[in-house]
Amino acid sequence: MAELPGLPTRVEGWIASYLAQAGEGDVMRGDMGRGARWWNSLLEGVAGLTGGRLALLQERVERQINEIGTAFRLPDESEERPWPVSALPLLIGEDEWRGIAEGVTQRAALLESLLGDIYGEQKLVADGALPASLVAGSPHFWRSMIGIDPPGGHRLHIYAADLGRGPDGEWRVLADHVRAPTGAGYALENRLAASRVMGTLQQRLHVQRLAGFFSAFRDGLAAACNRADPRIGLLTPGRYNQSYAEQAHLARYLGLLLVEGEDLAVREGRLYVRTIEGLKRIDALWRRMDSRFIDPLAFDATSAIGVPGLMDAVANGTVIANAPGVGVVESTALGAFLPVLARRLTGQNLLLPNIATWWCGQENEHALVRSDIDHLLIAPAFGGRPGGLRDGRARLGAEMEGEARRLLIEDMERRPQDYVGQEVVRLSTMPAMLAEGTPLPRPFTLRVFAARDGVGNWAVMPGGFARLSDTADIRAAVIGEGAFSADVCVVAHKPVEQVSRLPAGGKVAIRRNPGTLPSRAADNLFWLGRYLERGEASLRLVRAALGGTIDADSGAALAPETAKRVATLLVSSGAVPEKEEGEGITDHGDVRALAEAALDGRGIASVKTLLATVRAIGEGTRDRLSAEVWRLLDTGPPPEGAKDSGALLDRTTRLQERFSALAGLAAENMGRTAGWRFHDLGRRIERGVLICRLLRTFAPDEALADDLTTLLDLCDSQISYRSRYLSGLALEPVRDLIALDPFNPRSLAYQVERIGWHLGVLPKLSDDGMPEEHDMIAADLAGSMATATAARLSHTRIVTIENKFYALSEAISRRFFLQGSESLRAAGMTRLA
């Protein structure tokens, strides 16, 4: 947008109004004070992109965030929420960043050597540099890890620190994260969303890229493994975990297998993943699960999400990143000791200071905190909920009054080791995009990530994410409770080399197959196919039922017998619950009610139920679905509106379009991998079963013309029939087209042929040349097709074929999938009396 010469530009106006509100320690104010121009460039660029409307930028970034599928879940909620993000990134100059990166690197190295001592010789404890109770007080200290050397030599592969910037511009470490640091994926997603919106603006700002960090992390994991080209999994607690979306995204981005405990097995002290080709070795796991749950035999015996015997595999060289038990160095109280430990273990002072901390487990420090309580923040020393801070949150001593203060002091007297006093930090501010549409200064913290690279050095992600808050103490705010995130960009003074995303040529072996398909993924894709097909079938039935009512007055309604058959099928297919079955369907109103129930009711095959089912399955296998497929699955049912036949029919049409889109994506966009084959097998088997049911219902020897028309409609074969037969409807030609014609993609014979083709390509378990059970059933089905004739397709004969489909589905489950009914259970613990 053109600006008039001589007048202050729009950007200057933004800056002026922002600076008028920003306090001393504001980041943008500070940078500009030092003469840095990147904020100006950012705002100018943004103004250019949006025609001067900042709110537009926010809108676009939010749309991208939705597009990428970034979401997270709050504890105790089953629905994911979109990730709240502020469109303006935090810009940090490369000079300032270098200080941060060096400090974070030092700290990661320090924590590694500290862990080496705690789980090794324990010299620091013996000579008093590290109190024993400071170690044992951590709920993440696992004695069973003492003396276990980490395969590959390192306990830490990834590390994250939360930093706060004081008004003086000094960065301090607020918290360390080593167990399963979350957020690297969010940082990536924030950046992705921002780059899609800002395009080349980021390059013009010389923003350093993130991709190198992720490949360094993967290289580091691979380097720790015993085998070249190792198989690495990301161990997730499952789709109900808060950061499951991030895990799925990262698994895909890093090329890791997304696995749950159930997918893995330990045999003879080695770790394997259950795949459609049997057990396959796994070399390393990036765990996003607390140590406590990863192995019920080594840690919490009641864990149902872990891998029994995993620790035995670790003893034989399986890499777990980060190693179990590392959480012991996350304790807030440790901050009191790190300055001294840094000098002792690294020979240097801490480059990034901690927030000043006094641990009350020491007598002098306890006394000091007691006497200065009104000027300190009182926090749990090891997390948890000590008796004086029962909600587990840090509190300002000065704000604790009356009974709360009495309880705190009493418990600090009894268990001083559970408390720390900390300096009260003030955080500096950065520009945030809020609803107002202009940037406003808001306090923030910064999460920085470091990962070990292929030679064991620490690589720091040039960026990360900032958490912004409206409250003064941002640490109390969890994302989603009023806080939001922003991308963090490290801006270089010179252009950034554009090499990072593509690995050096020749380094990566070309492969055309994404690797072995885990059984659970195969299972999910198979059932996704079956349920999607079932959903389509229910919709066709609904359409047939409604179609039969709509034209009633013009005389085009279905014959009552046919309408009744449609209704019966709605019930027997499970689309309408049994109890709603009208014993005598007497008028069209009854049929309309059945159709409505099949759409919105609670039947096991109602469209509503099936939509929920496919969404749940899709979520569990999200790392293998494209964003488009997931978005379609994740869309809720269209809003219920009027209940008359016309409105229901409209809604049916919209739903049918959605299912068709999903079928189209599967047919045209999915890679022809084993995963696709299972998905397609699911569809074919479901369709086969359905056609049998339809044939039984609508094509008996005494079928009416309306029955045959309905059958052709339900099988989407109306046009094929008319192009083959000009003479009108007749039983045997219809039967042949629907059952036996291999050229009709909606025929039984076609499904059988495709099934045989898929099974022929899928891996065999045995090498003795003997057919497996599912192969035999498929061959048997093909035989039934080859020898059948339209004239002799009796009811019994169709039932026999139908049963073969069921048997085939079960045989495929037994051979390729996890045995769900035989899941892991805790052996009954015996009672002490």
Partner 1 sequence: MIYAIRHTTRFLYEAPVRFARCNLRLRPIDWDGQKRERYHLDITPHATISTPLPSGYPANTVRVVVDAPASELVIESRSRIVVNRPMPQILPDDPSVGEIARLARQVRDLSMTAPANYMFASPMIPIEPSIVTWCAETVNRDDGIVAACFALAKRIKAEFRYKSGVTDTDTAPIDAFDRRTGVCQDFAQIMISGLRGLGLPAAYVSGYLRTLPPPGKQRLVGADATHAWVLVWCGPARGWIGFDPTNGIMMAGDHIVAAVGRDYADVSPIDGIFLGRNGQRVDVSVDVEPIEEETPRPTRKRR
| Options 146-154, 157-165, 329-337, 484-492: segment touching partner 1 (CB under 8 A) | 146-154
Instruction: Extract long-range pairs of 505-511: CB within 8 Å, 24+ residues apart.
Output: 509/229
Q: Specify the residue, 124 or 528, whose C-beta has the smaller distance to partner 1.
A: 124
Nearer to partner 1 among residue 155 and residue 530 (C-beta) = 155
- Paired with 444 in beta bridges are 468
Burial class (CB in 10 A: 0-12, 13-18, 19+), 411: middle
Answer for which of 498, 727, 796, 823 binds partner 1 (CB under 8 A) is 823
User: Can you tell me the distance from the alpha carbon of 232 to that of 829, in angstroms, rounded to the nearest whole number?
Assistant: 34
Pick from 296, 462, 535, 618 the residue near partner 1 by CB under 8 A. Answer: 296
Sheet with 270-275, side-by-side order of all strands: 264-267, 270-275, 278-281
- Binding range to partner 1, per CB under 8 A, among 291-299, 512-520, 637-645, 784-792: 291-299
Of 585, 591, 588, 594, the C-alpha closest to 553 is: 588
Angle at 590 between CA 587 and CA 594, to 5 degrees: 145
Q: Does 311 bind partner 1 (CB under 8 A)?
A: yes
Nearer to partner 1, 126 or 478 (CB): 126
Q: Which of residues 385-414 bind partner 1 (CB under 8 A)?
A: 386-387, 390, 407, 414
Cβ at position 137, least distance to partner 1 in Å: 5
**Residues 166 and 424 sit within 8 Å (Cβ to Cβ):** no
Instruction: Give the residue with the Cβ less far from partner 1, 28 or 314.
Output: 314
For partner 1, the closer of residues 302 and 803 by Cβ is 302
Contact pick of 288, 292, 658, 758 for partner 1 (by CB under 8 A) = 292
CA 548, CA 318: separation in Å to the nearest integer?
Answer: 63
Say how far apart CA 548 and CA 311 lie, in whole Å. 63
765 is a contact residue toward partner 1 (CB under 8 A): no
**Contact letters for partner 1, residues 64-103 (x by CB under 8 A):** ----------------------------------------
Residue 144 CB, nearest distance to partner 1 (Å)?
A: 5
Q: Which residue from 4, 7, 51, 127 is in contact with partner 1, where contact means CB under 8 A?
A: 127
Binding mask 229-258 for partner 1 (x = CB under 8 A): ------------------------------
Tell which one of 91, 100, 135, 532 touches partner 1 (CB under 8 A): 135
- Span from 124-132, 576-584, 719-727, 741-749 in contact with partner 1 (CB under 8 A): 124-132
Contact between 122 and partner 1 per CB under 8 A = yes
Q: Of the two residues 303 and 485, which places its CB atom closer to partner 1 in the complex?
A: 303
User: Minimum distance from CB of 168 to partner 1 (Å)?
Assistant: 35
Please list, in sequence order, all residues whose beta carbon lies within 8 angstroms of the beta carbon of residue 770, skipping any fewer than 6 positions away. Answer: none
Q: C-alpha angle 60/61/62, rounded to 5°?
A: 90
Provide, rounded to whole angstroms, the least separation between the CB of residue 122 and partner 1.
Answer: 5
Examine residue 34 and tell whether it contacts partner 1 (CB under 8 A). Answer: no
Question: Site for partner 1 (CB under 8 A): which residue of 162, 263, 283, 312?
Answer: 312
Q: Which is nearer to partner 1, 292 or 754 (CB)?
A: 292
Rounded to whole angstroms, the Cα distance separating 553 from 705 reads 20
CA pair distance 66, 70, nearest whole angstrom:
6
Q: Which of 202, 215, 417, 709 binds partner 1 (CB under 8 A)?
A: 417
With CB under 8 A as the contact rule, which of the stretches 524-532, 563-571, 636-644, 824-832 interacts with partner 1? 824-832
Interface residue with partner 1 among 139, 238, 317, 601 (CB under 8 A) is 139
Helix pair angle (519-550, 795-816), 10° resolution: 150
DSSP H or E run through 784? helix 773-787
Distance, CA of 457 to CA of 465 (rounded, Å): 22
* Least Cβ distance, residue 411 to partner 1 (angstroms): 8
Query: In 3-state terms, what secondary structure has residue 253?
Result: helix
Tell me the C-alpha distance between 551 and 646, whole Å. Answer: 11
Q: Does the footprint of partner 1 cover residue 421 (CB under 8 A)?
A: no
Burial class (CB within 10 angstroms; exposed 0-12, middle 13-18, buried 19+) of 84: middle
**Count of residues making up the chain:** 833
Count of alpha carbons within 13 angstroms of residue 797, beta-carbon side: 17
Helix (H) or strand (E) holding 321: strand 319-321
Rounded to a whole number of angstroms, the minimum distance from the CB of residue 385 to partner 1 is: 8
Retrieve residue 689's tokens.
Answer: 């079963």
Q: Which ranges in 669-794 belong to alpha helices (H)?
A: 674-698, 705-714, 718-724, 731-735, 748-761, 773-787
Report if residue 382 touches partner 1, rule: CB under 8 A.
Answer: yes
Binding track, positions 329-368, relative to partner 1; x by CB under 8 A: --------------------------------x-x-----
Of 554 and 830, nearer to partner 1 (C-beta) is: 830
Closest CA to 740 of 726, 754, 752: 752
- Locate 656 and state its tokens: 């049918």
CB 179 within 8 A of CB 326: yes
Peptide bond connecting 349 to the previous residue in cis, omega within 30 degrees of 0: no
- The least CB distance from residue 311 to partner 1, in Å, is 6
Helix (H, G, I), strand (E, B) or coil at 604: coil
Specify the pairing of strand 395-396 against strand 158-165. Answer: unpaired
Find the binding residues for partner 1 in span 551-610 (CB under 8 A). Answer: none
* Stretch binding partner 1 (CB under 8 A), from 135-143, 426-434, 648-656, 749-757: 135-143
Instruction: Give min distance, CB of 789 to partner 1, in A.
Output: 45
- Interface mask toward partner 1 for 620-639; x: CB under 8 A: --------------------
CB of 274 or CB of 754, closer to partner 1: 274
Among 6, 347, 584, 828, binds partner 1 (CB under 8 A): 828
Nearer to partner 1, 386 or 462 (CB): 386
Closest contact distance (angstroms) between CB of 138 and partner 1 is 8
Cβ within 8 Å of residue 55, ≥6 positions away? 433, 437
Say which residue the tokens 């059952």 belong to: 739
**From the list 30, 103, 137, 327, which residue makes contact with partner 1 (rule: CB under 8 A)?**
137
Contact between 827 and partner 1 by CB under 8 A: the answer reads: yes
DSSP string, 478-491: PBTTTBEEEEEEEE
Helices (H), 372-496: 402-414
CB of 826 to partner 1, least distance (A): 6
Stretch that binds partner 1, among 139-147, 160-168, 753-761, 795-803 (CB under 8 A): 139-147
CB of 233 to partner 1, least distance (A): 20
Taking only Cα atoms into account, the Rg of the chain, rounded to an integer number of angstroms, comes to: 32
821 binds partner 1 (CB under 8 A): yes
Q: Is the Cβ of residue 124 or residue 491 nearer to partner 1 in the bound state?
A: 124
Q: Which helix (H) or strand (E) holds 371?
A: helix 363-371
150 sits near partner 1 (criterion: CB under 8 A): no
- Smaller CB distance to partner 1: residue 129 or 356? 129
The encoded tokens of residue 71 equal: 């979401």
Quick check: 108 and 464 in contact, CB under 8 A? no
Going by C-beta distance under 8 Å and a sequence separation of 6 or more, which residues neighbour residue 116?
155
Q: Which residues contribute to the site for partner 1 (CB under 8 A)?
A: 122, 125-128, 131-133, 135-137, 139, 142-148, 292, 296-298, 300-302, 308-309, 311-312, 315, 361, 363, 382, 384, 386-387, 390, 407, 414-417, 819, 821-833
